[in-house]
Amino acid sequence: MGNIFVDKLIAINQNPSATHSIIRNLMKQSRTMEEKVFRTLKVAIHGANTQHVMGPFLRVASQVFCRFSAQPDLVEHLISHVSQQCNNLQGSEGKAFLDFHKEVSSELFENPNFPADKVLSVQYDNIVEWAPGLLGYFETDVATETEVFLHEVLFKHARSPAHHGVAEDGDVPAGKVIDVARDLGLRCLAYLRDTYVLRRAEVSTRLVACLERTIKECGKFYNLRESPEDERATEFIRLSATVLEPLRILLVEDLEEESGMLCSDSSSIASSNTAG
């Protein structure tokens, strides 16, 4: 079970700095109390629609628990849990989930109890879980911000095989980054397949733009000009053919864009009639 006091304290969402200080002090009391805070956060944070606001819990998770927890296994578990919730976000708090991942990428480095050599691996291992859902999130500002964040934490740290797979940042293992980029491409294709293609659900071109660009970027980490070098490359080629082409049939122009075009056309006609 979680802790009712911690749950209510976070849920009222008043004076965040004081709330964070209280929870940090509670975590210092004992491992048992820290585990109760962990369970409280895990129960409260999920992708389904809820009656409570998710943002305050996500901020406590990143800025307090991941930053100060003395139990690295619980930190990893919480990050994994939040990442998995991004697979099917139904509420309107996608930005809060993205902010969690942004904050965790820096907060873990500040936690003296978390092994420094595990920070990057934990970050990379979870990207394929949270990225597809946020790239396809219905608020396109969140999707675009996710795309930019992926460039910062993933793509800019390694070059494609065409550039010999050399990491641009010596602290980042190039092989690991390339593996994650390849897996991310597969997961984004699977997301499009499961969300739209298999359901034959029409979708705005605007909603899949970030996913399509990311898939294209991930494709650079496969040597697609020659025979597939492994099972992942074969699967990437197969999914690209069976997902991207059928998706074209389901794409519809954004209603706002169509509306703008109609207004523009109407204005042009009106001007012509006036001139005539």
Beta bridge partners of 252: 204
pTM of the predicted model over 0.85: yes
Residue 229 is predicted with a pLDDT of 66
Which is higher by pLDDT, 244 or 120?
Answer: 244
Q: What percent of the chain has pLDDT over 70?
A: 85
Residue 256 is predicted with a pLDDT of 52
DSSP annotation string for 118-148: HHHHHHHHHHHHHHHHHHT-SSHHHHHHHHH
Mean pLDDT on 181-197: 97
Least confident window among 137-151, 160-174, 243-257? 160-174
Residue 78 is predicted with a pLDDT of 98
Residue 223 is predicted with a pLDDT of 80
Beta bridge partners of 251: 203
Give the domains, in start order, of the chain with CATH numbers: 1-114 (1.25.40), 143-253 (no CATH)
What's the N-to-C CA distance of the chain in angstroms? 76
